[in-house]
Amino acid sequence: MANLDARTIHQLEKARAAENGRSAEIVVHDGPLRQTVIALVAGVELGEHNSPPAASILVLHGRVRVTALEGDEEVGAGQLRVLTHERHAVLALEDSVFLLTTVTSIPRPEEP
């Protein structure tokens, strides 16, 4: 069982000590399901990237901005957001830790 409070503190400490200002640890890997605790220090961005078929972000500490074609959205501690199926980026507005949940091996929904 993963203790997210302990992992949050640990990953944030690692990110603060890292030259690139980030740290990540997979806490669940079960078939196509992955859950990763990711820490970013303020001002660090996960640059624009593609989203898997299904993904969500749950901010455990701090505040981030998710930037996508559909618009920017700030997500704070305790908030859960489904991630866009379009390219997006994540910027730490303050020292932040989030739980990224992805499902990677399912087909994308058909466009109408």
pLDDT for position 107: 57
* Residues in contact with 71: Cβ distance below 8 Å, sequence separation at least 6, in sequence order: none
pLDDT for position 49: 79
Evaluate if pTM is beyond 0.85: yes
| Residue with more model confidence, 108 or 85 | 85
Dump pLDDT digits (tens) for 43-92.
999 988 777 788 899 999 999 999 887 778 999 999 999 886 778 899 99
Per residue in 25-40, is it b (16+ CB within 10 Å) or e — as a string? eebeeeeeebbbbbbb
N-term to C-term CA, the chain: 40
Dump pLDDT digits (tens) for 10-35.
999 999 999 999 999 999 999 899 99
CA distance 94 to 82: 21
All structural domains of the chain? 4-103 (2.60.120.10)
